[in-house]
Structure 1
Amino acid sequence: MTWVFLACAILSECASTLSLRTASRDGGKKWFIAVAVGYVAAFSFLTLALDGGMALGVAYGIWAAAGVALTSIASRVLFHEPLTKVMGAGIGLIVIGVLCIELGTDH
């Protein structure tokens, strides 16, 4: 169940960050509410993952890295922001780094 909580934390954080982009552009209060609710949900799910026994280094590393990668890809799709080959390589390195963190933990 800890992995489900971590996945929910990642998705909540990505949704919040994407909402923050929209809120900063449009300035609507409803988007700032979505940002706040999303970040509270993200930290709540991350707390549940940690409470379920996931190591802090693993949980935070995966949460942060996956959030960066997914937000970069989603901002390309939703906002037509650049996603260069170098950025793609960086996302690939993030994936490799997360795998190294996970494979390096004792189960």
Structure 2
Amino acid sequence: MNSLWAAYVSLAVAIACEVTGTSLLQKSEQFSKLLPTIGMVICFAVSFAFLSLALKAIPLGIAYAIWGGVGIVLTTIISVVVFRFTLDAWAILGIALIVSGVLVMNLLSNSAAH
């Protein structure tokens, strides 16, 4: 497997763990529930470990923009579907702008690793 492909797989794992950890943060109820709290800590640790692996081939700014942007979008989807939060038009616009920014950085910028 080439190093760029491995870096993006590592970034995907990092994002999945970050989103899971953030969801468990909600479930931990301000750290009052032990199992979700432990799960959250483990997920965040694994997320940062895989993010560091991704940084071997993806520049920090690009990796962090993808990690943060995709994480925000997925966490928002989970909060709407699982936790029944609602979004207004401004929240949806903000999320669309985040997605647009990540796409611009990856598709148009020469800074992204391709």
Which ranges in structure 1 are unaligned for 5 or more consecutive residues? none
Aligned to 2:3: none
**Between the two proteins, what is the percent identity of the paired residues?**
37
**Contact residue 7 and residue 58 of structure 2 kept, 8 A:** yes
SS state of the match for residue 29, structure 2? helix
Alignment map for 1:75-94 (pairs within 5 Å): 75-94=79-98
Q: For 1:75 and 1:36, how far apart are their aligned partners in 2?
A: 19
Q: Please, what is the CA RMSD of the aligned residues?
A: 1.4
Tell me the CA shift for residue 6 of structure 1.
0.6
The answer to whether the Cα contact below 8 Å between 1:5 and 1:49 also exists between their aligned partners in 2 is yes
**Which structure 2 residue ranges, 5 or more long, are not aligned?**
1-5
Give 1:84 deviation, angstroms: 1.9
Alignment of 1:27-46 (within 5 A): 27-46=32-51
Secondary structure, aligned partner of 1:24:
coil
Q: TM-score, normalised by structure 1?
A: 0.92
Q: How many residues align?
A: 106
Match of 2:63 among 45, 59, 66: 59
> 4+ residue runs of structure 1 moved beyond 6 angstroms?
none
